[in-house]
Amino acid sequence: MADTLLKFLFRDAPVRGEIVRLQDSWRQMVANHGYPAPVARLLGEMTAAAALLAANIKFDGALILQIQGNGPVRLLVVEVQPPMRLRATAKLRQTAAFGAEATLQALVNPGGEARCAITLDPSGRLPGQQPYQGVVPLIGETIAQVLENYLRQSEQVESKLWLAADEQAAAGVLLQKLPQEGGAAALPDADAWQRVGALTATVTRDELLTLSPAALAHRLYWEEQLDHFAPLQPRFQCTCSRRRSGRMLLALGRDEVDSILAERGDVEIVCDFCNARYAFDAVDVGQLFAGAGAAQADASIRH
Ligand SMILES: [Zn+2]
């Protein structure tokens, strides 16, 4: 079963819906990270949610969903690059200790100051142009509740989310109430939002994690008429590279890099998302900084 994101409209209700299920891509995202089960669950729910949100907006660029925590988990990040290329990572504190049933609030927000941010970073952003970012406090017991609050505040759109994840799969459903034209008289069915919501609320965690989006849509909405869009195929893809790692070393500065070299013999950058390792020895570092110096000199001659 390929990873799929299904988008559809209810013909007799002013509601649009999306269902996503990630299996291969999600397994690649958690492979070799050894996340404790509650952390994998949180990150998986965020990953499914980020895919749903990215597919829901008309925007050419990256969507980044991030929670900055102050508990055992200090950072959760999911990036969606067009078209539906996902990567995700979680960072725990060294001393992190929590039970298998630890809640969202216990994991990231014991101090009550955690924040959830959604960033939209346009493709081909010009220098000086800022990405759009919306930030909300972490209100809610689940990722779904936090994001429902976010959508209500930032987009003023009534939205409902159902999310589930374990180490094997990450999945979710998003419903959004469409704005009505022509007032209440134009409504084909005034109870439609409640009806579709109630149908979706019957979904179980097991159904989310094991059924394909098409099978789940059929099971939940078999009495409804749906108009389907072409399904999307989310994939795991990391955007790290040796070149980007080199730029990180340049940003650290020569002195800092030289001191790491003196201590360890080489400098290694490990990607937080995919665990790729980029090693630079003394010769690499020399070439890197010489290249950067030449580029700088070149730029100053031209100016
Ligand atoms: Zn990577």
**Cα 60 to ligand 1 centre (Å):** 22
Structure tokens at 150: 């976010």
Q: What is the pLDDT of residues 122-144, one digit of tens each?
A: 998 888 888 999 998 898 999 99
Q: Are 192 and 16 spatial neighbours (Cβ–Cβ below 8 Å)?
A: no
Q: Report the amino acid identity of residue 237.
A: Q
Report the C-alpha gap between 154 and 136 in whole angstroms. 9
**Cα 21 to ligand 1 centre (Å):** 22
Q: Residue 155 has what pLDDT?
A: 76
**Cα 276 to ligand 1 centre (Å):** 5
Q: What is the pLDDT of residues 66-104, one digit of tens each?
A: 999 989 999 999 999 999 999 999 999 877 788 888 999
**Cα 224 to ligand 1 centre (Å):** 42
**Cα 241 to ligand 1 centre (Å):** 7
Got the DSSP string for 258-274? HHHHHHHSEEEEE-TTT
Q: What is the pLDDT of residues 241-265, one digit of tens each?
A: 999 999 999 999 999 999 999 999 9
Q: What is the CA radius of gyration of the chain?
A: 22
**Cα 265 to ligand 1 centre (Å):** 23
Per-residue buried b or exposed e for 208-244, using 16+ beta carbons within 10 Å of the residue's own CB:
bbbbbbeebbeebbeebebeeeebbebbbebebeeee
* pTM for the whole structure: 0.90
Q: Residue 121 has what pLDDT?
A: 93
Tokens 């100016």 map to which residue? 303
Report the C-alpha gap between 157 and 91 in whole angstroms. 31
Q: What is the pLDDT of residues 178-187, one digit of tens each?
A: 887 655 555 5
**Cα 275 to ligand 1 centre (Å):** 6
Binned at pLDDT 50, 70 and 90, residue 190 comes out as low
Q: What is the pLDDT of residues 50-64, one digit of tens each?
A: 999 999 988 899 999
